[in-house]
Amino acid sequence: MRYSAKFVKNVFKVINMKKLVGATMVDPPKRRRLISRQLSQTDIPQRISEVDGHQLITLFPGHPTRRHVFYLHGGGYALEASPFHKEIQERFVKRYNLKVSYFDYPLAPENTAEKTVPLTEKAFRQLTHLYPDDCFFLFGDSAGGGLAMSLAQHLRNIDLPKRPKKIALASPWLDASLSDPRSQELQEKDVLLEKDLLAEAGENYAGELPLTDPMVSPIYGNFDQLGELFVVAGTDEILYPDVLRLRDRITRSQGTTMQLEVVDGMMHDFVVYPLKESLPYVDQIGEFYQ
């Protein structure tokens, strides 16, 4: 079942959702690997491997394909993937005949960017070894979008036979320092993210690294030669100004293009939630990978 964005936003306001989400990002609940168990119960053929103890699950569509999405979920770098992420993965596989690999990357506060980014690179390398003929794409939402961008910048700088050709981001968290003053102006409208608690989650993820290190906050990195980007964001989220900064950086870059879809009145990470308004944008991302 899908709900209207207006209804969900009102519910989130009533229950003060952003305080609840922020608190769990700072002090996460016990790890349950819920999505891994759910994926194991689907009718989609899959292959499960591990990268230093972290699961890498590849889902296969009904027809052979070389188009392969490396999927990085959101959650403030601290929360596990949700059933909503699973639904998007399955839609990519079933509707768009994409191979999708979900990586259960190391989470904060137990881990920091100094472990998460290199291990995510190792997972990507493993995929290129297992599927050497595939054309790879990246997808990330919220913190997963920040991780996807940091990964893309890192992969560009190392000697690899294959790099991602396309990158799709939904409401990406690009600046863990939350330094743009426009984000404070949007705090009242944002029903999902509490700036102070999100900033604390960002500090947990940064660890000993500066918040402005591109491994933590890719907005401070270099955007040359990253290929094609497709970015979706809502105007009612505190991370929206950073998406505008990203657009400006891409404009001044070389070898990188960006298509930006800004949706008026939409909340943070709306693409991932089961909203009536979100499905067209999920499908735009699926089409982007064709």
Domains and CATH numbers, the chain: 5-289 (3.40.50.1820)
Question: Burial level of 42, CB count in 10 A (0-12/13-18/19+)?
Answer: middle
- Tell me the sheet residues that pair with 177: none
pLDDT at residue 160 is higher than 90: no
3-state helix, strand, coil in the chain (%, to 5): 40, 20, 40
pLDDT at 102: 96
Residue 28 has pLDDT above 90, yes or no: yes
Q: Are 142 and 268 in contact (CB under 8 A)?
A: yes
pLDDT band at 33 (very low <50, low <70, confident <90, very high): confident
Asked if residue 38 has pLDDT above 90, the reply is no
H/E element, 13: helix 5-14
- Indicate the pLDDT class of residue 43, thresholds 50, 70 and 90: confident
Mean pLDDT of the chain: 95
Residues 192/269, Cβ–Cβ less than 8 Å: yes
Whole-model pTM: value is: 0.97
| Inter-residue long-range contacts of 107-111, CB under 8 Å, 24+ positions, other chains counted | 107/28, 107/31, 107/75, 107/77, 107/78, 107/79, 107/80, 108/76, 108/77, 108/78, 108/201, 108/204, 108/205, 109/26, 109/28, 109/78, 109/204, 109/205
